[in-house]
Structure 1
Amino acid sequence: MTRCSGRLRGLFRPHLATFVSFGAIQTAQLLLPLLALPWLARVLGPDAFGLLMYMSLVSVIIGLVMDWGFTLGAVREAAACRGREGALSALLGQVLSAKILLSSGCLLGSLALLPLLPHAAAHPGAYALAVMAGLARGLNPTWFFQGIGRAMRRMACWDVCSSALVLLLAFACVRAADDWPRYLLLTACCKGFAYLWLTARLAGRYRVLPTLGGGWRALARTRMLFAGTLASLVYNNGAQLLLGFFLPPAQMGMLVAADKIVRAVVSVSNPVTQTLFPEICALRGAQPGRAASMLRWSLGGTAAVMLCATAAVWFAAPWLIRLALGAAYAEATPILRIMAFLAPVLACNMVLGTQTLVAFGKERALIATQAVMCVLSLPMAAILAYVWGVEGGACLSLLVESGIFGGLSWSVLRFCPIAFFAPATKGAR
């Protein structure tokens, strides 16, 4: 037991500071907005709250498009370029150029979708604010700090402070049902300023000059990873947008709120994934045994923690709903109980997909699995919502992620079994 504990400390102690920083960022991005739910749900009422939750999906989708494949591909490249300022400067310039191109595409796409999306044409101002909040989200430079393995504390400080400011201003500015678009405005302004400031400092530090050609090259290099992001966007957020055609705003609000609660629980495991991803990329060639040991601990620990979290959420669902949303949202309790089972599946998928297949250069297997579920998710969403209503919508994510888990497990065993079963490297501790 002592020997096992010593090996575990040797594996993870060097990355403790980065882990803590990622934990703070996850708190800023998921848990702090979750603290706003009790206030927003009560002062807005079910209908206005449902509109806010639905419009927030637009922000999430645009943020994911802006991320492209950079949250994995650019991190992998930056990790390989550590210590070489010229290469890091070129990479940063290319990614920033690509984000400028992506923001233009998102604006044009948002205009085209305005008359098509439910509630967007009826609330064009709020829709515009949701688009701006998504663009602000897409400027997040965490990928660069993660790749170089430095200055994560600074990134975490700005992220936490900006999210805390959104929370405090929401208490002061959102006080009636008609105020719901203000929350989108606060998010766009606070997060946009923080990310723009950090990006400008990086651009000055590395003397970055954005170019059109560099942007296109960055997009081309990570297009396969974006295919996976696009598939994830469709079977998660796109399917939820489709549910809006079948479910009233009040039910959509309860569904999206329950999804946020469960994903906040899953976010507990995200710092582990984000901390270990660049390290596994660096170790898989030189020390495959050490990388495999990291992956085994990560998968086993993630599964155990998330199974306990599922049980806790299931039993505490009535109390959580009363605390987070209020007595008027009691119908959300069975929705939350269904979605609680998503936690271990989703968390394990992140280990098998990001930490394993992408880190070992087998992202095509991940993308193929996601593409299959992308194709199936939209008809599944329509059928489940039409036949079983909001309970069917609650089952959608669980069915999709379970299918992905099966595909990823098969892919790991088929294409890179060495990821988990590599022999120990001589001299490695």
Structure 2
Amino acid sequence: MLSKEVSDNDSTDVNAAVATPVAEKQPVLSRPILKRFAINVASLFSVQVANMLLPLLTVPYVVRIIGPERLGLLNFSQAYVAYFTLLINYGFETASLRSIAANRSDKAHVNRIFSEVIAGKAVLWVLSTLIFGTLSYFVAEFREHLVLHICTYLMCIGTVLFPVWLYQAMEDLGRVAIFNLVVKVIFSLSVFLLIRKPEDYIYQNLSISIAQIVVSVIAFKVALSRFNLTFTWPTLQQFVNRFREDSTLFFSSVMITLYAGSTVFLLGLLSNPYDVGIFSAGTRLETLSRSFVSMALNQAFFPIVASAFGTGREEGLRIVRTTFFPLALLMILMSAGLWIVAPWFIDLLYGSKFHDAILVLRIVSLLPIMIGISNLLGLHTMLNLRMDKAFFRITAIGSVVGLALNTMLIDRMGYVGAAYAWVAAEAYITLSMYIYLRNKGVEVINLSYLKEAVTFSKTRLTTLFK
């Protein structure tokens, strides 16, 4: 079934990863590991509940004051700054998470990775700030809303300091849940205090930035104490090695952002603020719903899968295969729920001015299914098998497809075209990952694993609650 070897520079990495001896590890998915996983998921689920409930208080209040156009400006500014966040993050977070999760008992290793990542982000923040200042001042489209963009850009300081990847690798996500909850509460309270008239709309992004900075500083200090870390500035050679090792993941992230994160940015450039506002409103519930899986499950699950692949290739693949069917079922139910509640949700949160967003939400309701499966195939399988280059190629081609579709469809259909382009790009990515893995002899999705998945899930749940 898995006899076909991985080629294309992937086989060497996979064999090296599997051959690495792992000393005195707990059995994969033992009761303590499952219990820690359940606690992490429950903690992050509570954050997602807060993410769902707090907007029910703030969004109706804000959008009825500022309207679709100013909401579009806020989201356009966030999309603009997201490129600098991408540069600052580089490929550090995924690579460091993968490395620490497999060697978390090695304190010297953890401390070295932590210092390299924080220092690397700090250097890239300086570079980003120079680029941001130049573009924002000299490009007329950005200079027109310079104050808004500065307010949004401040959140990049939090990007440097918040070591969510470290908490994730150490499977201590309960604290991340608390930190994120604090951000949401601070932001929600500040919205009611600061936004009183349409011209106050810039305070929306400013309050997000300040809340993120405060919580990131706290999270950074807690990490130093809890994990007994000491920050030391890396040597030049360590810098070079870190940037070189993580470069493939960085360019993969660039490609993903180009097709998934550029839609709002392209709408702002090729269309108008109204279209941006309608698209942002229509995609909000889908993003919140999907974040439950990407945060509560992916962040809690990835270290376990990485540890399983560290034990052996077959053990890692078994975890992925038996996870597919419950994940797919969850995503199908989520997509169906989004399609059903679209009219009610848009009318309740945004009002009659945003009625056009209902169609957008129904189109993007397909995304949880595709992104959930592509995360399992790409993030959990390809990256843990060290198929980084193939992952990059697939996302690179997908980003080209997404950009081309966005350019064509936005011009013809506005925000509706943007929604269709996003769904089409994600469908291409998911299908390509499946075909690539299958051609390499890696069967992740197969009905023959369904019975094993059911039995496996029952056994693990019994182990957990015994």
On whether the aligned pair clears a TM of 0.5, the verdict is yes
Closer, same or farther: CA 62–37 of 1 in aligned 2, 3 Å: farther
Residue 207 (1) aligns with residue 230 (2):
yes
| Aligned 1:235-384 pairs, distance under 5 A | 235-270=259-294, 271-384=296-409
Pairing of 1:13-412 with structure 2 (within 5 A):
13-26=35-48, 32=54, 36-114=58-136, 119-149=141-171, 151-203=172-224, 205-211=228-234, 213=236, 214-270=238-294, 271-412=296-437
1:58–1:130 Cα contact (<8 Å) kept: no
Matched letter for residue 438 of structure 2: L
Rounded Cα–Cα distance in structure 2 between residues aligned with 1:267 and 1:117: 34
Tell me which amino acid in the other structure corresponds to 1:220: R
Separation in 2, partners of 1:334, 1:102:
39
Q: Deviations over 1:292-320 (max 9, x none)?
A: 33212322122211212222211221111
Measured in 2, the distance between the counterparts of 1:56 and 1:212 equals 34
Query: Higher mean Cα deviation, 76-85 or 393-402?
Result: 76-85
Q: Distance in 2 between matches of 1:418 and 1:255?
A: 37
Give the conservation status (yes or no) of the 8 Å contact 2:331–2:369. yes
SS at match of 2:385: coil
- Structure 1 pair 135/384, CA: closer, same or farther in 2 (3 Å)? farther
The residue type equivalent to 1:377 in the other structure is: G
Query: In the alignment, what sits opposite 1:3?
Result: none
Which range moved further: 415-424 or 90-99?
415-424
Identity over the aligned pairs, expressed in percent?
20
In structure 2, how many angstroms separate the alpha carbons of the residues matched to 1:354 and 1:248? 35
Contact 1:97 1:212 (C-alpha < 8 Å) held by counterparts? no
Measure, in 2, the Cα distance between the counterparts of 1:136 and 1:117.
26
Measured in 1, the distance between the counterparts of 2:208 and 2:439 equals 43
Deviation for aligned residue 1:253? 0.9
Report which stretch shifted further, 375-384 or 29-38.
29-38
Asked if 2 retains the 8 angstrom alpha-carbon contact of 1:96 and 1:215, the reply is no
The root-mean-square deviation of aligned C-alpha atoms, in Å, is 2.7
- Whichever residue aligns with residue 188 of structure 1, its letter is S
Give, in whole Å, the separation in 1 of the partners of 2:271 and 2:30. Answer: 49
Letter in 2 for 1:321: I
The amino acid of 1:70's aligned partner reads F
Q: Which range is displaced more, 201-210 or 95-104?
A: 201-210
Q: Deviations over 1:191-217 (max 9, x none)?
A: 111112222343463111123624443
Q: Report how far residue 102 of structure 1 moved.
A: 1.4
Partner amino acid, structure 2, of 1:243:
L
Equivalents in 2 of 1:420, 1:382: separation in Å?
33
Contact 1:62–1:135 (CA<8 Å) still a contact in 2?
no
Structure 1 residue 34: Cα displacement: 7.3
What is the CA-CA distance between 1:59 and the residue it aligns to?
A: 3.6
User: Residues of 2 paired with 1:248 and 1:238: CA distance?
Assistant: 15
The answer as to whether partners of 2:81 and 2:149 remain within 8 angstroms in 1 is no
Q: Structure 1 residues 96 and 27, CA, compared in 2 at 3 Å: closer, same or farther?
A: farther
Answer yes or no: is the 8 Å Cα contact 1:163–1:191 preserved in 2. Answer: no
One-letter amino acid of the structure 1 residue matched with residue 250 of structure 2: F
- For residues 404 and 118 of structure 1, do their structure 2 counterparts lie closer, same or farther at Cα, with a shift above 3 Å needed? farther
User: Structure 1, residues 232-267: CA drift from partner, whole Å, max 9, x if none?
Assistant: 111122243122122210111110222222121112
TM-score by length of 2: 0.83
8 Å contact from structure 2 (residues 282, 359) kept in 1: no
Using the TM superposition, give the Cα deviation of residue 379 of structure 1 relative to its aligned residue in structure 2, in angstroms: 2.5
Quote the Cα distance in structure 2 between the aligned partners of 1:93 and 1:232.
26
8 Å Cα contact 1:64-1:138 kept in structure 2: no
**Could you tell me how far apart the structure 1 residues matched to 2:50 and 2:111 are?**
28
Counterparts of 1:226 and 1:29, CA distance in 2:
28
User: Following the alignment from structure 1 to structure 2, what is the Cα–Cα distance between the partners of residues 196 and 104?
Assistant: 18
Most deviating of 137-146 and 188-197: 137-146
Q: Which has the higher mean CA deviation after the structures are superposed, 354-363 or 294-303?
A: 294-303
- Residue 116 to residue 255, structure 1, CA distance change in 2 (3 Å): farther
Q: Do 1:31 and 1:264's aligned partners in 2 also have CA atoms closer than 8 Å?
A: no
Distance change >3 Å, CA 385–CA 418, structure 1 → 2: closer
Alpha-carbon shift at residue 115 of structure 1 (Å): 5.4
Residues 101 and 215 of structure 1 are in contact (CA less than 8 Å); yes or no, is this contact kept in structure 2?
no
- Show structure 1 runs of 5+ residues with no match: 1-6
Report the count of equivalent residues: 419
**TM-aligned CA distance change 1:413 to 1:17, over 3 Å:** same
Determine the C-alpha separation between the residues in 2 that align with 1:224 and 1:33: 36
Q: CA deviation at 1:382?
A: 1.4
Instruction: Tell me, yes or no, if the aligned pair for 1:92 and 1:208 is still in contact at 8 Å.
Output: yes
TM-score by length of 1: 0.89
What CA deviation, in whole Å up to 9, does each residue of 1:145-197 have, x standing for no partner? 11122x32223212211221111111221121111111111111111111122
CA distance in 2, matches of 1:208, 1:288: 34
Structure 1 Cα separation of the partners of residues 51 and 252 of structure 2:
22
Cα distance 1:232–1:42, how it changes in 2: closer, same or farther (>3 A)?
Answer: same
- Check 1:297–1:113 CA distance in 2 against 1; reply closer, same or farther (3 A cut): farther
